[in-house]
Amino acid sequence: MSKISQVFKKAKKTGKKVLIPYIMAGDPTLENTKRFVKEIEEAGADIIELGVPFTDPLADGPTIQRAGERALAQGVTLRKVLALVEEVRQHVQIPLILMTYYNPVFKYGIEAFAKEAVRAGVDGVIIPDLIPDEADDFIAYARQDKLDTIFLLAPTSTEDRIKKVAKASTGFIYYVSITGITGARLLVDDAMKNTLTLIQTITQNPIAVGFGVSSPEDAATVASLADGVIVGSAIVRLISENRDIKNFVSSIREAI
């Protein structure tokens, strides 16, 4: 069982929800990211999601777009993020996930990427512009190296798509709470509840909900509907304002 699966299993046993904070690697510098990762772990997060900057982040709202631009301006690349993971792995125990667009992985070479990612200590990968239909090779290499492949579902997802995504996903499924981009306003409505229920009848995979979760209250609401919560833009915004993130992550930990 993968480290990520173990985290969800353990949480389920103890009746807890999995907290997954997101930060952009290299925003504002890679040195800062090392410190943030440590702080987030200390604040009680279960898994950390590290963003890889990309020139054309079409699933991201303005907050994460700008964080990516700052990281790119520092010369941060997928290669450097892997080196960073290798370094923080020395003193961080919880699973680390990379969230990257597909082209940097494709350019790196998917076989080499899966190998290098696992060697560095990455536990799973989220690629928002890669759907299972296009991911046969990527999934094969990831399985070979025991790298979890986390695919996404959305409020628009049909039964057909849910089955496909459930089959391709290991670790957990990332449920995008809204039709929209990261950092948009959360809307917990019947459509969301119905889709989540439908997903839960189709698959045993744990589900973490992300996009638009910006406060402890939001986190508590979505946590009641799923197995885990992903918080991204709200933390990235605090970083951009040079404010403390540890207390914020702690407050979300307490809320769920």
Partner 1 sequence: MNKNPKKLPDSKGHFNGYGGRFVPETLMPALIELEKAYKQYRRDKNFLEELSILQKTYIGRPTPLYFARRLTEHAGGAKIYLKREDLCHTGAHKINNAIAQSLLAKKMGKTRLIAETGAGQHGVAAATGAALTGLECEIYMGSEDMQRQSLNVFRMRLLGAKVTEVPVGSRTLKDAINESLRDWTTNVRNTHYVLGTVFGPHPYPVMVRDFQSTIGKETRQQILKAEGRLPDCLIACVGGGSNSIGLFYEFLTHPIRMIGVEAGGHGIGTGEHAARFAGGSLGVFQGCKSYLLQDDDGNVLGTHSVSAGLDYASVGPEHCYMRDLKRIEYTYATDEEALQAFELLSKIEGIIPALESAHAVAEAVKVAPTMPRDSIIIINLSGRGDKDVQEVARIKGINL
Query: Which residues make up the interface to partner 1 (CB under 8 A)?
Result: 54-59, 61-62, 65, 69, 72, 77-79, 102-108, 128-131, 133-134, 151-158, 161, 165, 176, 178-181, 184
Which is closer to partner 1, CB of 107 or CB of 143? Answer: 107
Question: 3-state class of 229 per DSSP?
Answer: strand
Which is closer to partner 1, CB of 240 or CB of 250? Answer: 240
Distance CA 107, CA 250 (A): 37
11-14 CB contacts, 8 Å cutoff, 24+ apart: 11/46, 11/227, 11/228, 12/206, 12/227
Question: 3-state class of 16 per DSSP?
Answer: coil
**Rounded to the nearest whole angstrom, what is the least distance from the CB of residue 58 to partner 1 in the complex?**
5
- What are the respective helix, strand and coil percentages of the chain, to the nearest 5? 50, 15, 35
Q: Tokens in use for 123?
A: 């536990």
Residue 134, C-beta contacts closer than 8 angstroms, at least 6 positions apart: none
Distance CA 86, CA 185 (A): 34
The answer to whether 148 and 4 are in contact (CB under 8 A) is yes
**Rounded to the nearest whole angstrom, what is the least distance from the CB of residue 8 to partner 1 in the complex?**
20
The answer to whether 201 and 193 are in contact (CB under 8 A) is no
**Rounded to the nearest whole angstrom, what is the least distance from the CB of residue 251 to partner 1 in the complex?**
28
Q: Where in the sequence numbering do the catalytic residues fall?
A: 49, 60
The answer to whether 249 and 45 are in contact (CB under 8 A) is yes
